[in-house]
Amino acid sequence: MSTDDTEEVVRASDLGGDGPPVEEKPYKIVFEAAGCFGAGRCAQVSDNWELDIETGLARPRSFYLDEDELDDNLRAAEVCPAKKDRGVIHVVDRRTDEELAPDPHGDGTLSVDW
């Protein structure tokens, strides 16, 4: 029996590739695609999101964002109804690994269910 009952923390920097330089695109989307059920709210509020006609599921056009793209993608994360309204779109500041949205825990930790 293990005496360590702590859960391992998943950091955004542990997921995906390196992407473009942080200075150019300081924000990153972590998308739990398996939890998407195609409500399409993300695509209604952000040009970065589209619904795939064949699968009926959403997908981002880009996983890396600059300041100009941030607000739309924060809104997409906030309106996502998947995971009992906790959402499957996570917007993370690559400089700090802090989850900016949806941040259901309120502490900036990445709220993925993997």
pLDDT tens column, 18-69: 799 999 999 999 999 999 999 999 999 999 999 998 998 999 999 999 999 9
pTM: predicted TM-score of the whole model, two decimal places: 0.85
Radius of gyration of the chain, Cα coordinates, nearest whole angstrom = 14
In 6-40, which positions are buried (b, 16+ CB within 10 angstroms) versus exposed (e)?
A: eeeebebeebeeeeeeeeebbbbbbbbeebbeeeb
Distance, CA of 40 to CA of 52 (rounded, Å): 10
Distance, CA of 12 to CA of 3 (rounded, Å): 27
Q: At residue 2, does pLDDT exceed 60?
A: no
State the CATH class of domain 23-101: alpha beta
Helix (H) / strand (E) element for 59: namely strand 58-60
Question: What are the residue ranges spanned by the domains of the chain?
Answer: 23-101
